[in-house]
Amino acid sequence: MAESTKGQAHHHYTYTELLAIAQHFRQGPQEHMVAWILRVYDQGGMVLVLSFRELALLGNLTHDAIFNCLCRDRQWIGPTALLAWLLKAWRQRWPSFLHFKDPFGTWFSMEQAMPLARQLGMLQWIYHEPAFEQAPCPAPEDMPFTRDMYQRLMALASNPQFWLQLADLPGNDMTVLEALVEIQKRSGQGAPASEPRVSGESTKFFLGRHVTLTASKPVGLSSNFQSSGSWFGEM
């Protein structure tokens, strides 16, 4: 990605804009790392190009002190997409699945299973080679929905009924997006949730709005960025 921005005019952000960017992309108090990096991806991190100085001015974006320090390590010369900076630091912090502590919790409804499936796909995409360098192809939703991902998803199910509803989910050559569509189709059959509903806005964004992120998205702040809290306006 560093090479893809070479030779292109870089939009230099003001200090006020950088404060808004930092606030928008900072990890939430109860947001685990995979949910956070997926949100960065969903909300324009692939096309938000920053210089190293601009990245440093964002300050700490996560609760992980080591990760934050790695983000400040000068890794490239020239402007680079925010997500590329973050993924480089991620793979230094956690070189493989074995180094990354599973942050996922129990799910209590099919609607909660959908963002979890996306997060599992995002984690697989992070360690996929060459990962970001070919973004957005493949995208996290293009990753295979493997048997291992299915087993991890079902191990966190709160109700054995979900095993029956999703028993035939891992089809041949099924992608994460196709798995999400299948889960959505069966969401009306789910057991009543016994816990507060978690946000699935990112999943609704992909399945309900059918918006595909591309490198052609303008790099600058959108006109409704500060008012809507989203690169794409109200969703």
Run of H or E residues at 90: helix 82-93
Q: How far apart are the first and last CA of the chain?
A: 28
Read off the pLDDT of residues 149-189 as tens digits, 9 standing for 90 and up: 999 999 999 988 888 888 878 666 889 999 999 898 887 64
Cα radius of gyration (the chain): 18
Number of domain units in the chain: 2
Same domain, 146 and 171: yes
Same domain, 15 and 79: yes
User: Of the ranges 70-74, 118-122, 178-182, which one carries the lowest mean pLDDT score?
Assistant: 70-74
Q: Is residue 50 part of a domain?
A: yes
Same domain, 70 and 114: no
Q: Is residue 44 part of a domain?
A: yes
Same domain, 141 and 167: yes
User: How much is the pLDDT for 130?
Assistant: 55
Q: Is residue 145 part of a domain?
A: yes
Read off the pLDDT of residues 186-214 as tens digits, 9 standing for 90 and up: 876 444 343 333 344 444 444 443 333 33
Domain ranges, residue 88: 3-100
User: How much is the pLDDT for 97?
Assistant: 77
Higher pLDDT, 133 or 54: 54
Whole-prediction pTM: 0.74
CA distance 29 to 128: 28
Whether the predicted pLDDT of 86 surpasses 60: yes
Q: Given phi > 0 = left and psi -120 to 50 = alpha, else beta, which region is 227?
A: alpha
Same domain, 93 and 125: no
CA distance 97 to 106: 20
Q: Is residue 202 part of a domain?
A: yes
